[in-house]
Each structure stands twice: as C-alpha cells, then as structure tokens.
Structure 1
Amino acid sequence: MRRAATRLEPAAPAQNRHQSDWAVIRSLLPYLMAYKGRVAFALSCLIAAKFANVGVPLILKDIVDRLTLPGVSMLVAVPFALVLAYGAARLMTSLFQELREFFFINVTQRAVRTLARQSFDHLHSLSLRFHLSRRTGQVTREIDHGVRGVSTLISYTLYSIFPLFIELGLVIGILAHKFGWVFPTIVAGSLTAYVIYTVSMTNWRTKMRREWNELETRAQSKAVDSLLNFETVKYFNNERFESERYDETLKKSEAAAIRSQQSLNLLNAGQQFIIAIALTLMVWQAVVGVQAGRMTVGDLVLVNAFLIQLFIPLNFLGVLYREIKQALADLERMFNLLHVNREVSDAPDARPLQVSGGEIVFEQVGFAYDPERPILQGVDLRIAPGTTCAVVGASGAGKSTLARLLFRFYDVNQGALRIDGQDIRSVTQESLRKSIGIVPQDTVLFNDTIAYNIAYGKPGATQSEIEAAAVAAQIHDFIQSLPQGYDTVVGERGLKLSGGEKQRVAIARTLLKNPPILIFDEATSALDSRTEQAIAAQLKAISADRTTLVIAHRLSTIVDADQIVVMEAGRVIERGRFDELVSAGGAFARMWALQSGEEQDDARAEELVA
C-alpha cells in the first residue's frame, strides 16, 4: 500500500510552474510592506547616504582647488569649515547606511519569520500523499534556501544595486552639468559594457556553478545515505565499494570546481580591462581639460573619485547578479511550495466533531492511492459505540488504509465515512484527529527525551501524568532503570530503543492523549509473547469504554473482540465474533489454524531457550 501511495502526486504541476523574477518579487512585497513606515525611513536613509557619498568628491575638489591657488597660504586657502564638511560627509555616508540597516532589519527578519512559519504550517497541512512522494530533506532545504533568499535578495538589491543606480544618476547629472556630455558618455558607455560583459559571463559561469553544486549535493547525498545505512554496509563488507562510489562523484566535483574557478578568473580579468580603459579615457579627458584651462586640478580629482566610487561596488556585480538570481530561484521554489494545493482541506462551513458515543460507519467506501490500483472496493462496516472491531487479512488487503482514511490523511473516492452520523469531510481536521488516538505499527519517535515523547500525546502534561501513562504501558520500570530515566534521549527516530520499547512509548503517548476513539495498528507486533500478553490485557482495559479499531496480525490478541472483520483485496469477505468465524470454517478459520501451529512452535522454542 505504501508503495502505491508514492506513485501519484497531484500537486506536482504546481511544483514545476515557472514564475518570472518580477512575479517572485511581487509575491515577496506584501511581506516587506508590513512595516511601511520603516521601509519609507530606510529608503530615505539610503538616498541620504548616496547624496552624502556624492558630496565627498565635490568637497574634496573644492579643497584641492583652493590648495592650488598661487600665492595663497594653506591656512587661508582651506577654511577649517571645509575640512569639517569633508569629514562630516564621510561620517554621514556611514551613519545613514547604519541607520538604514538598523531600521530595516525588523522588516527583513519579520518577512523571514513569517515565510518560514507559513511554509512550515503549509507542509503540515498537505496530505500524506505529498509527503510520501517527496524527500523530506529536499522540502526542508527548499524552505531553508527560500528564507535565506529573502535576506540575500534584500541585502543585494536594497543595499547594493538600488543605491548604485541612485549614485550613478547623481554622478552623471553632476558631470553633465559641470563638464558637458563627454564624461557622462564615457561613464555610461563603460558601465554598459561592464554590465553586459559581467551578466553574460555570469550566466555562462552559472551553468558551471550549478553543475558543481549538483555534484556536491550528489556526493553529500551518497555520503549521508551510506552513513545512515552503516550497518548494512558492514553486513555486506562494502566499505571499499561505498568509498569508490563516493570518490567517483568527488572526482567530477573536483573538475567542475576547477572550471568554475578558471571562469571566475576570466570574468575578473575582463572587468578590470573595462575599468582600466574607462579610467584612462576619463583621466585623459580631464588632463586635456586642465591643460586647456577648461578644468581645474580639483576637477581632475573629482572625475577620478567619481569613477572609482562607481566601479568599486561594480567589482562585485558578478557575485551580486548570481546571488540575486539564485535568491529569486530559491524564493520561486518556496512560493511554489506554498501554492501546492491541499488535497485534504476543511470545508468552508466545517464544524468541530461532536463525539457522543463514537460510532464509526464506513458506507460503500471506495479508495485508491493510484487510479490503476484500487485498494478499497465498496467497504461497508459499522463499529458500534464503545465496542472493539478487529480487522484482519493478508498484506495489501486494505487494513491500514482504513485507519488512514479515519484520520483523514486521504479523502475517500466514493461512499462516506461517518463518526456519530457526521461525515468526517464536514468537520474540522483538528477536532477529528483530537478525538482519535493511534498506536501505529511503525513507531517513530522524536530525537528528544522519553518524557517529551510520551508527553507529546498531551503537550503540557505533568510528570506524574507522564509516569502514570508509562506505568499503564508497562514501560515505567524500564525507564527507571536507565541512568537518565525519563530524561534519556531516544536518538533519531527513536533508534536507541528497541522496537518493543518504542511501541510501549507509543502506547503510553496514546494513553496520555485519552481520546474517545482508539486505533491499534498491530500495536504489539514488535513485542515478545509475554510482554504482548501483558500489554494486550492493558489495551483491552483502556479500550473498554471506547470505540476501538484493531488492525491485527496475531489473531490470538483479538479473541475477545466484539466484531472481527476479514478483508481480502479491499473487500470485506467475513465478519462476526471469534468463535463464530472459527466454526464457520472459512478464511478466518484457515488463518487461525495456520497461526495456532506457528505459535505452538514458538512457545516450544521459548521453553527450550528458557
């Protein structure tokens, strides 16, 4: 069933849609405009900083011109106020830049936080089909890169590119006003050539960079996959095979890294060539102007200072352009993730589920993970309030699918599923899942303490409540025997605990939740016979007044069930109490006879070991 679930991903087209860069920026703007006053003030500081920055060469020109006046002493030529103005302009440039960042950081970080939270919440709202069809690491990486892309985009556009254009406009205007259009033409021409060359070279380099990144990611993925399967590698003595497989990718990554660096050297050399030509032309024109008497020495200093001020930030244009494009691509992937349609969503008029007795009814339910492979076909099933219904059958019969539909991880394709007469599609998912507790077959725990994992069934539970649940699940004594007790960290996915210990933690977690409806999906499958009997008795006690669905593999655990349903190929083929089904001599009787023989063999083996 799980394999079938991965074959269909209705949301895939939304993931692959392409948005223009401007569309991505428009999607981001509402998050930045939450603080309109701060945005306006930051932009004012940015413009003020550029005016101050442009003023520095102008003041310096005035100082140089006064110093070169013939027959005038320096003290007379350079008033103290002019020197102070030069220092103040330098200070104001930095001060306004710091003020801009000081007030805008709230905008940036709030946008990052809001987007991260929305993405996280949206992922939890998507169906199980989506999560079974995507690699968790890939999804979390898209979110991580997306939120980092917000900071990158703001930093490189608002703090670098946008101020550069403001300063460029001011410089061209001043040069045109003071010296005519020769200097502005050189500035505009050189900058145009510089930008065209940088962008074209960066686009060329981006392909190499992307290849390098993909190879690095592939190498990292192979390394992580190999280390996660450490025991398997050891079992088959394949350390050398894994090393060679890893090195093969590293070799390709090495070649891609060399090509990327060499292309960067070509980019830098070309940029410096354009800058050198522009500076030479500007200084030459200024020298000619000074000799002709049209310009002063201070004008020469002014022209040179303007050009250097413009080209210094342009040295990083290639990096800025590449990072901005990457940030836009990361943001696009994150926004696409936010636009993935929820396969299962609350109806506009959904109301909280009202559980009065806990009656569960499947009415002609049909369902398929993949349209080509139906799982459930016209299932009719009624579980009376406060009773226990056990579902048995071969693997792939559709047993666990009943639990997934009851939790509404998927919606039924046909028919209806009702709890106390309410179609679960008409109630809120939060209230539905709050009313159901499950002990799954495959128990996955958080990489936190045992106490945290038990308390997850009831966030905020007291220590005494946690311990009471552990006692009921027959795991309290084991926890007390550990050096750190309830503060023992269980490891990633609970791997530091055995399968039986993990299942008992899951049972304690569900007991603490204390819901009116219980689902036991082969809840004792990882336990030994003695512990299984003890916990089975405990489960029977706690489910006495609750509606309980038991998905069973060991038939000996469901002898006392109020109703046993036998499924085959997605259909109900038998139903009744235990003794009725055994005496009927049908599919259940054959399963019981087969398992009884196996359990007798297991019991003899345990006696011999003892």
Structure 2
Amino acid sequence: MSIFKKFINYYKPYKKLFYFDMFCAIIVSIVDLAFPQILKFLTNGLFTQGTSVIVKYIGIVAILMFVMYIIRTYCEYFITSWGHIMGANMESNMRQDLFDQYQRLSFSYYDQNNTGDMMSKLVSDLFDISELAHHGPENIFISTFKIVGSFIFLAFISVPLTMILVVITIAMLVFCLILNRKMQATFTDNRKKIAGVNSAVQDSLSGIRVVKSFANEDIEHEKFDYSNRMFLNSKTAQYKMMGKYHAGTSFFKGLLYLAIIVCGGLFVAYGKMNVADLAVYALYIGIFITPVEVLINFTEQFQKGYAGFKRFLDVIELNPDIVDKNEADELKNVGGNIDFNNVSFSYEEGSKVLSNINIHIEKGKTVALVGPSGGGKTTLCSLIPRFYDVDKGDILIDGQNIKDVTLKSLRSSIGVVQQDVYMFGGSIKDNIAYGKPGATDEEIIEAAKNANIHDFIMELEDGYDTYVGERGTRLSGGQKQRISIARVFLKNPEILILDEATSALDNESERHIQLSLEKLSKDRTTIVIAHRLSTIKNADEIIVIVNGRTTERGNHKELIAKNGLYAKYYNMQFEGLEKFDIYED
C-alpha cells in the first residue's frame, strides 16, 4: 500500500466531517469567484442605468451579498475550527497507534533506538502530520477550485492573454517541482537532527544527578551544543532552500503582473479588450495568484508532514519479533518447573551470549546464578518471559514450550525484581498497585507489610498517597526496592526472578530487603542472580555461568568442596578481599 493510501485510511472515521469540510470549501471558493462576476454584471448592467434604478435595486444587491458573505463566514468558521478538530483527532489516533506499537516492540528495538528519537516521533512529527491532515486536502481542493474557476473566467474575457499566463504558470510549476525534491531531503534531515537534540536533552536530564556529582556540566554543554549546531545547520540549509523557492516563485508572480500590464495594455490599445474587462481580468488574476501562493506556502507544510509520516510508518510497519503464535494457549495452573533444553542466544549475529544451556529447575526450588560480568546470567533470565527469543533450543514451563503460550499469560506468571528499580510518576499506592491493576486498598497494604515498607509509608505525611517524584527521586534506593518487592507480592507470580536485587544497597537496607525476598520466595520457583554470595548460601542449587556456558553446578557445600571458580569467589569475599573485582573476566 502506498504512503498516500495509508495516510487516507486515517480519514475513514471522520468521512462525514471531511466531506462537509470540503463542501464548505466549495462554498467559500464559489463566493470568492462570484464577486468579480457580480462586479462585471453591475458595471455593464445596473450601474449604466439611471439614478432611480440604481437606488431602487442597490439595496437588494446589498442584502443578497450580505447573506452570501454571512454564509461564507459560517463556512470559514467550520473549516477553521472543525477542520482542525478533525486533524487533531487523526493526530490522536496516530499517536495511540504509535504508542501501542512501541508497547508491542521487543527489548531488541529499545536496545537499538533512543528514547528522545521515539519521543520526537510521538510529539513533534505527529503535530506536523496533523496540520497536513487538515490543511492538505482543504488547501489543495480550494486552491485547485479557484485556479480552475478563475482560469475559465479569464479565458472567457481574453483567450490570448490567458495563454500567456498559462505559459508563465507552467514555467513556475516546473521550477517548484525541481526545488520541491531538494526541499524534501532538507526536511527529512531536519527531522533527524531535532530527534538528536531531543535525545541529548533526554539523556542529560535523566542523568542530571550523575552530571552534577561529577561536575560535568561543561561536557554536557558540549554534547548538547554539538546536537544543537547540527540542527541549526540543517535548519539553515532548509531556510536557504526555502529562500530560493519563495524568491523564485515571487519572480514568476511578478512576471504574471508584468504580462497583464504590458499585454493587457496592448490589447486595449488595439481594441481587442476594453478597460472594464481588463479591470475584471485584474481581479481574477488576484484570485488566480492567491491560491497559487497558498499552494507554494503549503509546500513547506507538506514536506514536514510527509517526512513526519514516513518516520511514523518506519515504526508502525515494523513487525514485532516476539508475538503470540496463532492459536497460542493460556498458561494456566502454573507449577513452576522450568527447563532449558540446548538453549543458545546472541544479541547480534556471530557473537553468542549463551551456548547450549541445559538446566532443569524443579517447582518451588531456588536456583542461584553466579559468574563473571557479561557471562550471560541476566540474558538467561530475560529469555524466560520472552523479553528476547532463543536462537536455538527450547524453554519449557511445566513441560509447555513458552512459545506456545500467550505472552500475557506467560509474563503474568513471572515476577521480576531488579537492581535498577523503576518508579512511575504518581503515588506510592499507584506504584504498588501496578503489580495488580484494580487491587483493593487492603491488598495493597498487605503487600506493603510483606515487603516491610508499610511502617515507613505510614510515617509519611500523606501515607500511601505520597508522591514519589520522577523515577522515585524522593525515595532512597532501599525504599524503592521494597516498593518494587511489594509490587511483586501483589502480583503473586508462580515464578520469581531476582536480578541482583540487593547488590546496590547498604547493609541495613540489604538486611530488611533480604527478609522480604525470603518471604517472597517461599513456595515459588526462584532464580537468583547473585552478587553477594552470602545471600545464596541456602539456595537449592548454584550454577556458575562463564562466557555463556555452565561450568559448575551444585549446592554451596558441594561447590566449596570442588574448590573451583565459585569457591574462589566465595573465599575472596569472606577473606576481606573486596578490593578485587570478582566480576572481571
């Protein structure tokens, strides 16, 4: 389907509004085209009569023209107000479609794309598309109607003079088409550059605490200055091209007026046209040139909207790489048995992160994953809820391949507690309730008590209604972690993944959270990615993963007795050798 057809599809819900908008556009155009004819009729007819006749009928003419312009006024109001409302509705629909597509896309898309660029497509691009959606059909329709109508009337007045105007107009159109192609490239580049500015701002403001703690405002200034200058250079190139465009079209408009004066004067001189007809001809030239100017000025809007819609389609037409298969089943009555059968995975072709992983985890058991940084522990856990799909092999839950069940039912059965906790803008209550939309206050409070955060919440002035700040800036790391644990308590999943949930906390916070995690893990299949090995001594099984392969397996005592990599790491921690980075390869 062409870009044009895809754009037209967004008009379908508003067909009646669109057709009435076009009807109003016809009325406005007819009224504008009628005035020179009315003037010609009056000049050659009524105004040649005596005073009494003119006085007798001028009132009727005034009333008719007043009614005509009242109708035009209401049509202009509809075009301006409801035409824009239609465009805003289409923009809203596109924005919702784009947001929903962002929700469907897998982690791999977000690994490769910047948030600022995505925001630019969601906001500024769609505004330009909205303006195009409203003004595009209207401007083209009205302008074409007026140009064709005035051209017909001009031809009735003087065919030879009109043919001269046609030659000049065709030359102007050729000039416009040539520069239009060049302008399209500058507008597309402009969109990319403003996305770069948005990305720089988003990156710097999101990390503002890091920026200030390192006193690196100057570095951020330079980074933003670069993006800003690239955008400025793109805008400069765009405006230079627009300058050529508008200057050239202005020159051709001047030629049109020049042709009227010179050629029209010669026609009057040789008796092929009278002065009254030349005056009416001049009025129609104004009607003829005005829509031409509208179309010329519309070019910038069209290029912006077209470039924005192409960027919009770049996302909308992406096929999410992780979707439900046809007739996927619901994952029900989850016990929690997990099997990795010859699982291999790579983020990029040719660089394997996991190779031939074979692991069986019995329901209700706790399995800990340890090993050097970059070994594949977090990646392995990300495969269970299908944040990524395996390259080879299968993952089974209770004997059922996770690719054969719906994503919603699969992910509803899994709870994840990560080191980097994300808090949504809103209250503490809202953030806990995110684990179970529609949860009662009693359920939320019970979850908070289980996470050992209820007493702290009740000490706050607004209690559960306390605003957490953007990304939870008003809370400490330990407080945010306990709220995230309460969120998972409320979700009550059968499978739990703890991804270094306590590694960034102080000892006091870790102690409270470890108690919460032990309570949360009870009677659930639990996978723990551990940084502090003291927290996994009681795990049913500990698996060491190095370079995407399992190298050691067993419980704590068995692995210490083997005196392998796990024993080395454990001894380094408990012999006071924290100065060594145990996660270096």
TM, length-normalised to structure 1: 0.85
* Conservation of the 8 A alpha-carbon contact between 1:53 and 1:93: no
The aligned residue for residue 23 of structure 2 is: 44
Q: C-alpha distance in 2, partners of 1:507/1:48? A: 64
Question: 1:449 aligned to 2:414?
Answer: no
The amino acid across from 1:349 in the alignment is E
Q: Bigger CA drift: 426-435 or 181-190?
A: 181-190
* Conservation of the 8 A alpha-carbon contact between 2:184 and 2:307: no
Inter-CA distance 33–281: structure 2 relative to 1 (3 Å threshold): same
Q: C-alpha distance in 2, partners of 1:420/1:257? A: 58
* Conservation of the 8 A alpha-carbon contact between 1:62 and 1:298: no
Inter-CA distance 265–328: structure 2 relative to 1 (3 Å threshold): closer
Question: 1:133 aligned to 2:84?
Answer: no
The aligned residue for residue 520 of structure 1 is: 498
Q: C-alpha distance in 1, partners of 2:410/2:188? A: 45
Question: 1:63 aligned to 2:42?
Answer: yes
* Conservation of the 8 A alpha-carbon contact between 2:129 and 2:304: no
User: 1:509 deviation in Å?
Assistant: 1.1
Inter-CA distance 257–553: structure 2 relative to 1 (3 Å threshold): closer
Question: 1:399 aligned to 2:377?
Answer: yes
Q: C-alpha distance in 2, partners of 1:580/1:252? A: 60
Question: Which structure 2 residues correspond to residues 419-430 of structure 1 after superposition, within 5 A?
Answer: 419-430=397-408
* Conservation of the 8 A alpha-carbon contact between 1:52 and 1:92: no
The aligned residue for residue 583 of structure 2 is: none
Structure 1 counterpart SS, 2:468: coil
Q: Bigger CA drift: 384-393 or 482-491?
A: 482-491
The amino acid across from 1:358 in the alignment is G
Q: % of aligned pairs identical?
A: 32
* Conservation of the 8 A alpha-carbon contact between 1:449 and 1:489: yes
Alignment partner for residue 450 of structure 2, among 457, 472, 475? 472
* Conservation of the 8 A alpha-carbon contact between 2:337 and 2:362: yes
Question: Which structure 2 residues correspond to residues 292-441 of structure 1 after superposition, within 5 A?
Answer: 298-441=276-419
Q: C-alpha distance in 2, partners of 1:245/1:105? A: 38
Q: Deviations over 1:197-243 (max 9, x none)?
A: 44545655666677777666656655665555545555555555655
User: 1:523 deviation in Å?
Assistant: 1.4
Q: C-alpha distance in 2, partners of 1:26/1:506? A: 46
Q: C-alpha distance in 1, partners of 2:383/2:98? A: 25
The amino acid across from 2:525 in the alignment is T
Alignment partner for residue 157 of structure 1, among 136, 148, 163? 136
User: 1:488 deviation in Å?
Assistant: 3.3
The aligned residue for residue 171 of structure 2 is: 193
Structure 1 counterpart SS, 2:350: coil
User: 1:104 deviation in Å?
Assistant: 5.0
Q: Deviations over 1:441-473 (max 9, x none)?
A: 221222332222211111222333323222222
The amino acid across from 2:363 in the alignment is P
Q: Deviations over 1:29-86 (max 9, x none)?
A: 1221234343333333332332232112211222233465165456357543333333
Q: C-alpha distance in 2, partners of 1:473/1:172? A: 78
* Conservation of the 8 A alpha-carbon contact between 1:34 and 1:107: no
Alignment partner for residue 64 of structure 2, among 78, 85, 89? 85
The amino acid across from 2:548 in the alignment is G
User: 1:433 deviation in Å?
Assistant: 0.5
The amino acid across from 2:376 in the alignment is G
The amino acid across from 2:491 in the alignment is K
Alignment partner for residue 541 of structure 1, among 495, 514, 519? 519
Structure 1 counterpart SS, 2:467: coil
Inter-CA distance 78–183: structure 2 relative to 1 (3 Å threshold): farther
Inter-CA distance 50–124: structure 2 relative to 1 (3 Å threshold): same
Inter-CA distance 482–563: structure 2 relative to 1 (3 Å threshold): same
Q: C-alpha distance in 2, partners of 1:428/1:94? A: 56
Structure 1 counterpart SS, 2:370: strand
User: 1:265 deviation in Å?
Assistant: 5.4
Q: Deviations over 1:182-206 (max 9, x none)?
A: 2432442333333344454565566
Structure 1 counterpart SS, 2:297: helix
The amino acid across from 1:175 in the alignment is L
The aligned residue for residue 495 of structure 1 is: 473
Alignment partner for residue 543 of structure 2, among 565, 583, 594? 565
Size of the alignment, in residue pairs?
580
Q: C-alpha distance in 1, partners of 2:69/2:492? A: 68
Inter-CA distance 273–396: structure 2 relative to 1 (3 Å threshold): closer
User: 1:401 deviation in Å?
Assistant: 1.3
The amino acid across from 1:464 in the alignment is E
Q: Deviations over 1:320-351 (max 9, x none)?
A: 11220221111011112111121111111211
Q: C-alpha distance in 2, partners of 1:87/1:361? A: 82
User: 1:405 deviation in Å?
Assistant: 0.3
Q: C-alpha distance in 2, partners of 1:69/1:518? A: 95
User: 1:305 deviation in Å?
Assistant: 1.8
The amino acid across from 1:537 in the alignment is L
Alignment partner for residue 95 of structure 1, among 44, 51, 74? 74
User: 1:400 deviation in Å?
Assistant: 0.9
The aligned residue for residue 582 of structure 2 is: none
Q: C-alpha distance in 2, partners of 1:339/1:347? A: 19
Question: 1:111 aligned to 2:114?
Answer: no
Structure 2 counterpart SS, 1:369: strand
Structure 2 counterpart SS, 1:367: strand
The amino acid across from 2:298 in the alignment is L
Q: Bigger CA drift: 497-506 or 181-190?
A: 181-190
Q: Bigger CA drift: 209-218 or 332-341?
A: 209-218
Question: Which structure 2 residues correspond to residues 243-322 of structure 1 after superposition, within 5 A?
Answer: 243=221, 267-283=245-261, 298-322=276-300
User: 1:526 deviation in Å?
Assistant: 2.4
Structure 1 counterpart SS, 2:423: coil
The aligned residue for residue 579 of structure 1 is: 557
Q: Deviations over 1:146-184 (max 9, x none)?
A: 4324322223321212211111111222232x3242243
Question: 1:589 aligned to 2:567?
Answer: yes
Alignment partner for residue 486 of structure 2, among 493, 500, 508? 508
Q: C-alpha distance in 2, partners of 1:335/1:38? A: 25
User: 1:308 deviation in Å?
Assistant: 1.0
Inter-CA distance 283–61: structure 2 relative to 1 (3 Å threshold): farther
Inter-CA distance 251–446: structure 2 relative to 1 (3 Å threshold): closer
Provide structure 1 residue ranges, at least 5 long, that are not aligned to the other structure: 1-21, 602-610
The amino acid across from 2:504 in the alignment is A
Q: Bigger CA drift: 411-420 or 229-238?
A: 229-238
Alignment partner for residue 147 of structure 1, among 123, 126, 140? 126
* Conservation of the 8 A alpha-carbon contact between 2:385 and 2:411: yes
TM, length-normalised to structure 2: 0.88
Question: 1:122 aligned to 2:98?
Answer: no
Inter-CA distance 300–87: structure 2 relative to 1 (3 Å threshold): farther
Q: C-alpha distance in 2, partners of 1:600/1:26? A: 63
